[in-house]
Chains A and B, each alone.
Chain A
């Protein structure tokens, strides 16, 4: 997305956004809507506080574990579903349920079954992220040109070689896309679970600032979460490019 040619336009929209925010907050704002500059100031101050880093650490624990779980289960699952159509008949309905269910609805369920600790947060992050990973991995395997498999067989490839030399390299770009989209969903899951279920870490911090009417700090926390998500997605995109040798749009 941030290709070099886009940068000036993105900077321009950002400036327009920041100025509008600043003007609106100065005219209509007050206690509950901080100005852009106040938010930036609060962000800087927050980044210097131990409180934020502890919260970030706690949140990211759930994020990393949950996302690793989503990738570890989702990629093999998607690949198998893509290759063996019969399995899909069993799995399709559950994938669709995962895709359309408002995830917030299962939070009380999760709390009741595994308690309100790290496990619940990890599981929720994983459930959020896994759909993207599975669906894209499946599509990746399925889009591999069947004539490539036939070609490999004609040169004597066994099933293992077909997997390692044709199916997996062919599916890799889509798998990486799924991982990248999954990161976005995982961050959503991470924040949501802390806001709605166990008020700890970043979500807990946000609830606390809201309660104390510390609007600049509340906005600053959101800004920092956004920044982290963007950073993670950029890293994923960079990895995607490195691994597949192709440009990623």
Chain B
């Protein structure tokens, strides 16, 4: 579904030098796969996601989504943002319908579709509220509904639950799992939480920093549909422990290198 070949990207850093955000990244994501990407901060995981979204131009390499080379944002992909990125002056309904509006869907149709998705993410009755009147978890539900409204084939999620409290995060994880079970979208999900990466992902892509590279891809052979009770299983504990070992090693290597 997504093929990434030899992807490199560098930025001009704050000190004026070039920072290599991604270096020669190869990655394949299968159709209907839930892929989680885990790594220390500054490992380029958000850059990778934005490159797939078509939001940042790459230096070299290519990204092919569903047979088409990515040259910019496209209707086959929709993004969910860490800080929600909701229009503060617009209502929940208009926010959810915003992606449809940008794609030229007529008012009546987009409102109807938006209402259905608002109900699906459990926000029925909040259509006329503005983002500031909602909790963080509710705001991200709006963000998810907005992305799903455009009926993408790939859902790109950039630490979507990073800015909500722990209990809400657990609820949102479970809801996302059930949405995914039904829709079977292809999902690329960035996170800095090992537990989240294992609970949600079919595979966990472990990235290392400076330059951003894929260190390892860890399969998660846990049965679906997954439930919270999984966290008590031995396999789950084993994988999260392994991921933590690898992350700690990376951290120490990085410190030693400096």
Contact = CB atoms under 8 A, between A and B. Distances in A.
State yes or no: do A and B come from one complex: yes
Contact of A245 (B89, B98, B103, B150): B89
Q: How large is the interface on B (under 10, 10 to 19, 20 to 34, 35 or more residues)?
A: 20 to 34
A246 B132 CA distance: 12
B111 interface: no
Interface string B115-150: 000000000000000000000000000000010001
A152 interface: yes
Given A155-B73, A156-B75, A156-B103, A150 B55 contact: yes
Count chain A CB atoms within 10 A of each CB in B85, B101, B146 and give the residue with the most: B85
B73 A151 contact: no
A244 B87 CA distance: 13
B150 to A, nearest CB: 7
A145 B89 contact: no
B89 A155 contact: no
A154 B87 contact: no
Interface stretch (B57-65, B76-84, B177-185, B207-215): B76-84
Contacts of A157: 102
B74 A151 contact: no
A189 interface: no
B4 interface: no
B44 interface: no
B53 interface: yes
Interface in A140-162: 145, 147-148, 150-157, 161
Interface in A153-183: 153-157, 161, 165-166, 169-170, 172
A150 B85 contact: yes
Contact of A151 (B54, B85, B103, B150): B85
B160 interface: no
B201 interface: no
B99 interface: yes
- State the majority secondary structure of interface residues on B: loop
B78 A154 contact: yes
Nearest to B90: A169
A239 to B, nearest CB: 16
Contacts of A155: 73, 78, 98-99, 102-103, 146, 150
Contacts of B74: 156
Nearest to B82: A147
Contacts of A152: 98, 102
Contacts of A156: 73-75, 99, 102-103
Contact of B89 (A147, A150, A154, A170): A170
Contacts of A170: 88-89
B85 A145 contact: yes
A26 to B, nearest CB: 53
A155 B86 CA distance: 13
A39 B174 CA distance: 73
B198 to A, nearest CB: 27
Given A147-B85, A161-B102, A245-B89, A153 B150 contact: no
Nearest to A148: B85
Contact of A244 (B53, B85, B89): B89
A246 to B, nearest CB: 8
Contact of B87 (A148, A153, A172): A148
Interface of B: 50, 53-55, 73-75, 77-79, 81, 83, 85, 87-90, 98-99, 101-103, 146, 150
Given A155-B146, A156-B73, 12 more contacts: A150-B50, A152-B98, A152-B102, A154-B53, A154-B55, A155-B98, A155-B99, A156-B74, A161-B102, A165-B87, A165-B98, A244-B89
Interface of A: 145, 147-148, 150-157, 161, 165-166, 169-170, 172, 244-246
14 contacts: A145-B83, A147-B81, A147-B83, A150-B55, A150-B81, A152-B102, A153-B73, A154-B54, A154-B73, A155-B73, A155-B98, A155-B99, A156-B73, A156-B102
